Structure 1
Amino acid sequence: MANEVWIIDDDQSIRWVLDKALSKAGFRVCTFTDAAEPELLLRHTRPDVLLTDIRMPGIDGLELLQRIQDRHPDLPVIVMTAHSDLDSAVASLHGGAFEYL
């Protein structure tokens, strides 16, 4: 069975590119425009890895990371952003992110 990856990003083009690349590599991919739905889904199911943007409307990626770490500390979370800064990188990695892109 293929590993499942959840992609959370408000940018449709980022979701599309990651979905196509990961699907072609054999992963099962679910995409979300914000953190609300995946946060609800995590109550009864979970992916093998989760990729999230930092800057999104509603719950941002760092808040989502904290909530995931509280409930699923073993779930690998990769934090992505196009607006990189040192504070975001440090906050992500100290918050338990598996990787910061």
Structure 2
Amino acid sequence: MREIKPVNNNGSIQLKFSVGGKRYSFNPIPGGQFANNRDFKTTQAIASQIQNDILAKNFDYTLDRYRLTPKQSIQSSSQASKPQRLLELWDYWVDKPQPFSSY
């Protein structure tokens, strides 16, 4: 099996690989940039997870397991507003204005 590596696709990050004779090509990070170190490292981690799943015969052919934000399924409005993954929670915390406390 060939190693799965992130590919520069006009500035975005893409993973290209084959499993069982079928070729896959997808962007695991919507809006991810190849030049962004965080996006690149995250994509490398996703590529490693895919390789491990292929070797363990546990590959998700829908690719939903490997997307940073899975395709939206029908959810209740309260579920949709909550961060579902650690990275989403981190981004929410970083983007939220934090009050400065005086010492």
TM-score normalised per structure 2: 0.29
Between Structure 1 and Structure 2, whose CA radius of gyration is higher?
2
Q: Which has the higher contact order (CA 8 A, sep 6+)?
A: 1
